[in-house]
Structure formats: C-alpha cells, structure tokens
Amino acid sequence: MSVRLPILLRSGWQQVNIGDIAHWAGALALLYRELCSRDEEVRFQPFAPLGNAGKLLQRWPRVILDSADAESHSLSAGFMIHGSGGTINLDAVRSWRGKPWGAYGVTYTGGPYGSSFADALPAETVDLLNTAEFIFTRETGTAAFLRSQGVSGPPVQFGPDATFGFDSTDEAGADQVLKTLGMPPTGSTAGSTAGSPGGAAFLAVIPKLRIDPYWRMGLTDMSQSEIAAAERINTSCVAGDHHILREIIAWWVRRTGSPVLLCPEMTYQLDLMDRWIISLLPRDVAPQVHPLPFFWLPDLASSVYRRAAAVVSVEMHSPILALNVGTPAIHLRQKEDSPKGQMWRDIGLERWLVDMDWQNDNDRQAVAAATIGALEDILANPEDAAWTVQTAGKRVRNAEDEAWQIIRDRVAGSTQENP
C-alpha cells in the first residue's frame, strides 16, 4: 500500500509586508481547500523567518514549519509548490534537485525587483523553468513573456496571486482599532449607504514609495550604485505622488464628511504617512484623517477593510485583501512596481486601475481626478460597485478552479511513496 508524501510550500519572502504574509497564509488556505484534507500534513519552508506573523499558522495545526536554512531536497515531501511573489527563486528550484515542482501565482520578469520584462532569458533559466509541472502567473503579462521565451514544457497560464486565497480575519480587533482611533466601525458601504455622502463609511488609503527601500531593512542584495539610483527615483517622485494622495483625501473628507484611515502595507510606510500626508494636509481636512499607529497583520487589515467604503492603494495587495471581503478597491499603479498591476485588468477591474504617471502639475491633477471620479462613481452607484466586486471575485474563483484542477492532476502520483 502506498502513502502520500506531504506537499512542500516554499513562500514567505519577508515579514515587513502584509502582502507577502498573505501570500503564504493564502497559499496554505488554498492548499487545504483545494488539495489536502484537513488531516494531511503540509510542509512549509519560508524563505525567511516568520516572526510575529507565525501566529497565523495556529489555524493549521498539521502544517510542519521547516527552517529557512534546511536543505529542502532532504525534507520528506513529494512535490514543491513555489508560492506567490515577484520572482521565481531559481536557487530554490535547483536545491530541490530534480523532484517535481510547480509555481503558483507568480510574476517573473527575468530582471531585478520592480523591473519590466527582460529582453531575453538565459537558456539555462528557460531549461530550468521547463522542468516545472505547472507555472501559474498572477497576471497575464508574465505568462505571455515566459511562453515567448520558450517555456512550453509545463502549462503556463494565469493563476491568481495566492493572496486571493487569504481568508483569515480579526473582527474584534478591527472594531477595537476603529474605536481607539475615534472612527465609526461601520461595514462597507458598497450596496448600502454609499449613495448618501453623509452616511459613507471611511476611506482607507495606502501610500508607497516608487521603489520599496528594502536596503534600509537589511533585506536586499542590491549594489550601492543600484541603491543610489533607487533613492534618486524615490526622491524625485515622493512629493508629487503624495500630493496626489492628499488631493484625493481632501476631496473625500469635504465631499462626504467621513474620515480617512491611513494604513501601511509595509513597515516603512508608517513614517511615510506622517511626513508626506498628515503634516501637509489642509487645516479643515486634517482632523478627519487618522493614521494607523502600528504595523499590522493581514487578518486585521482584512477586517478593517471590510468596514471601509473603499480602499485607495498605491500598493497591490491591500486592494486584493479588500476585494476578498467585498470592498471596492482602486489601485494607483506605479511603473516601477513590476507588471503585477495588470492583474486588476485580468479580473475586469480596469475602471479601478489608475496609472500614477505624471511629468507636471497637470498630469498629477489628472491622476487625482481619475481616482476621484472612480470614488464618486462608487458613492453614486453602490449596487453597481457591489456587482463589480462580485464579478471580479467570480473571475478569480473561476481561474483558481481551473488552476487547481491542473495542480491536482499534476501532483497526483508525484507524492506517492511505498512504505
């Protein structure tokens, strides 16, 4: 009689970003929903220690947490799933030593963090990727790029970011946070009170630098020249980008009379909110704007976003968390932030995707106006906004169903071991 070896999940790049935390927690939720019974063991080997985020593992007592430093090929597992992120860790694939593997919900540009697609992938990279049983990319651009480079051995197609699978919440925590900040803990206004400006719930806003400063956190292998170039880009854009956000915030407060919650998706954004938003707001607006005073986990973020009228985010994964709980979410896409923003088009949310491209004051005003127009539409047509959220969610579920059918087929037989 044969027994099934556990699945090995490789994910968890770093824990200073709730999107990355939701990557691995969402992947585990999907694994237990789509592939493994609740009594089966799943091995999880993060790329970096989990820190405080590790408490999310309490939901899955059968998960075996392996050290990031362990030799993955020596672990008792029959199939490796490489989780979501902005790359495929080729070293992790090589260290698996030819055992079956696949990637789920990835972007792969072939270049450094935040880059557009490379002109060409090295032949050895193409050969390695062709050893996969499947490669599901979180946006269609990566799938097209990989196929154009000759990656044709495995199925290569759209498969949603694993954050779409994240479903943990902290409802009591959300109520407490909003109470502490003096904000009404009401639910999302999509489909209910959003048409009445005076009754609108709060707006959640997430800022971002053009290039996340991982070097300040000791989490990068960038050279000094690369860091200097990134700092120059950030310095040249930070004032203009946050001017746009302040325009949106001021419009919301004056239009609705309702508050704004400033939220971090990454730890460094706590300082960003104070320096570039709070301190520069108009006097009539500032009392209604509340910065979250601490970094949080995605379960608490999800429950807070559930209570928002809408989310406006320069980050990508807070909009996903918001969509998961039924809240409209507008993504302001920066060109430096990899092709991942394409996923909003892939699931039918073009109307809530705004390119944050500007060269002058007129361009910045146009970006703010496009975002405000989308928010005005959400307020004026709550039923339509709710339908848009639901329709996008159905597209995600359909893509997940198709992906996991292929994953089940490819994993079957790869994890069997004779006792």
Number of CB atoms found within 10 A of residue 282's CB: 11
Q: Is residue 314 part of a domain?
A: yes
**CA-derived radius of gyration, the chain:** 21
One domain, residues 160 and 179: no
How far CA 57 is from CA of 37, 62, 242, in Å, comes to: 16, 9, 36
**Going by DSSP bridges, is the β-strand pair 310-313/203-206 parallel, antiparallel, or unpaired?**
parallel
One domain, residues 258 and 286: yes
Q: Is residue 386 part of a domain?
A: no
Helix, coil or strand: residue 387: helix
One domain, residues 291 and 344: yes
For residue 119, pLDDT over 70 is answered with yes
For residue 250, give both structure tokens.
């001021």
For residue 195, pLDDT over 80 is answered with no
Q: How many domains does the chain have?
A: 2
For residue 193, pLDDT over 60 is answered with no
One domain, residues 9 and 141: yes
CA–CA gap between residue 318 and residue 322 (Å, rounded): 6
The CATH number that applies at residue 310 is: 3.40.50.2000
- 360-399 pLDDT, tens digit each: 999 999 999 999 999 999 999 999 999 999 999 999 999 9
One domain, residues 240 and 343: yes
One domain, residues 127 and 195: no
Q: Which of 105, 73, 87, 77 is nearest to 13 (CA)?
A: 87
One domain, residues 31 and 143: yes
Q: Which of 113, 90, 103 is nearest to 137 (CA)?
A: 103
Q: Is residue 388 part of a domain?
A: no
| Residues 84 and 27 sit within 8 Å (Cβ to Cβ) | yes
| Residues 338 and 113 sit within 8 Å (Cβ to Cβ) | yes
Q: Is residue 389 part of a domain?
A: no
Q: Is residue 387 part of a domain?
A: no
One domain, residues 110 and 182: no
One domain, residues 246 and 365: yes
What is the reported pLDDT for 409?
95
Residue showing tokens 């989990």: 50
What is the reported pLDDT for 111?
81
| Residues 76 and 5 sit within 8 Å (Cβ to Cβ) | yes
pLDDT band at 412 (very low <50, low <70, confident <90, very high): confident
Q: Is residue 265 part of a domain?
A: yes
Q: Is residue 201 part of a domain?
A: yes
One domain, residues 212 and 244: yes
What is the reported pLDDT for 197?
42
Average confidence (pLDDT) over 301-313: 97
For residue 2, pLDDT over 70 is answered with no
For residue 4, pLDDT over 90 is answered with no
Q: Is residue 385 part of a domain?
A: no
Q: Which residue has the higher pLDDT, 404 or 219?
A: 404
One domain, residues 140 and 204: no
Give the domain range for residue 224. 171-380
One domain, residues 182 and 322: yes
